[in-house]
Chain A
Amino acid sequence: MGMFDIFEVSGSGVAVHRQWMDAISDNISNINTVRRTSEAAFQARYIEAVPTAATPGNPGGVAVAGVRLGSAEGIEVSDPDNPLADAQGMVRRPAIDLGEQMTDLLMAQRGYQANLAVVQRATEAYQAALQLGRSS
């Protein structure tokens, strides 16, 4: 076990949750991104997390294994006034559920905070250990 392993482990947790929040904010900001029906809809990004196996040289943690994309088909809606509308007056909107994105955002935010709380606790323990043998 390395000296400040917990920072590495919790750091990976913070990084994964940060990426998740980034993906969610991108999804939400594109929730009204309209495309032509001849194009693919804006695809929501979903982060896939996998645990990193703890080995003697690696304290473990979590990593982003990949990004899964949402539906490319999206939803075709009638919007004849839109300059992107086709001959039938249809445009393609992304199939993003705002409720789902918001609940994911809460989970990502709480996960981020929980990892930071662990960092704080570890700092206290390390600091106490560094004081060993220092008094008088």
Chain B
Amino acid sequence: MDTGLVMPALVVALDGLSRRQAAIANNVANINTPGYLAQNVDFESALASAVDMQPDAGTSQLGGVISTATSAEPAGLDGNNVNLDQQTLLGTETNLRFQMALRAVEGRFTVMRDVLRGS
């Protein structure tokens, strides 16, 4: 993999993770709304294959890998299918993944800074 793809892939991952976090916020806000169906954001597998297919893609080409889908889980009596346990776990995981991606971006910046300093 070309190192030129690292930053675009990280940027798309950060975007996808923050969109997932927003979707989770929406699902939790509607936890008691009758008829509401949970929304899920997916991008990991699509991003992985996009990175494999186009080794010199930029952020704009990779941006299309983020997709939102309505959860197909069975709904309760009020027609709502938000699962709070699942959303809480997913939220915690998304938060940690987001921070991990931020560390990776930080790492790239550190490399650039070291190169510029020549040390």
> Which residues of chain B have C-beta atoms less than 8 A from A114's C-beta?
28, 31, 84, 87-88
- On chain B, the residues within 8 Å of A10 by CB distance are 25, 28-29
The answer to whether A13 touches B29 (Cβ under 8 A) is yes
Give the interface size bracket for A toward B.
35 or more
B33 at the interface (CB under 8 A from A): yes
Closest CB in chain A relative to B75 CB, distance in Å: 14
Say what secondary structure dominates the interface of chain B: helix
A49 and B91 in contact, given A1-B19, A125-B18, A133-B109 (Cβ under 8 angstroms)? no
Considering the chains assembled together, what is the distance between the CA atoms of A123 and B3 in angstroms?
31
| Cα(A129)–Cα(B28), bound, Å | 23
Question: How far is it, in angstroms, between the C-alpha of A136 and the C-alpha of B113 when the chains are bound?
Answer: 10
Residues of A contacting B: mostly: helix
A107 close to B (CB within 8 Å): yes
**How many chain B residues have a CB neighbour from A under 8 Å?**
29
A75 — which chain B residues lie within 8 A by C-beta?
Answer: none
B28 touches A13 (CB 8 A): yes
How far apart are the CA atoms of A106 and B118 in the complex, in Å?
61
Residue interface bits B65-100, CB-to-A below 8 A is 1, else 0: 000000000000000000010011001100100110
Known A-B contacts A1-B19, A125-B18; the reply to A115 vs B106 at CB < 8 A is no
Please tell me if the beta carbons of A9 and B25 are within 8 angstroms of each other in the complex: yes
- The answer to whether residues A51 and B22 also contact, given A62-B29, A128-B102 and a CB cut-off of 8 A, is no
With an 8 A cutoff between CB atoms, is B24 at the interface? yes
Q: Which residues of B contact A124 (CB under 8 A)?
A: 95, 99
Query: What residues make up the interface of A, taking CB atoms closer than 8 Å to B?
Result: 1, 5-6, 9-10, 12-13, 16-17, 20, 49-51, 54, 59-62, 107-108, 110-111, 114-115, 117-118, 121-122, 124-125, 128-129, 131-133, 135-136
Which positions in B face A, CB cutoff 8 Å?
Answer: 18-19, 21-22, 24-26, 28-34, 36, 84, 87-88, 91-92, 95, 98-99, 102, 105-106, 109-110, 113
Pull 24 A–B residue pairs with CB atoms less than 8 Å apart, ordered by A. A6-B21, A9-B29, A10-B25, A10-B29, A13-B25, A13-B29, A16-B29, A49-B32, A51-B33, A60-B29, A62-B29, A107-B32, A111-B31, A114-B31, A115-B28, A118-B24, A118-B91, A121-B92, A121-B95, A122-B95, A124-B99, A125-B21, A132-B105, A133-B109
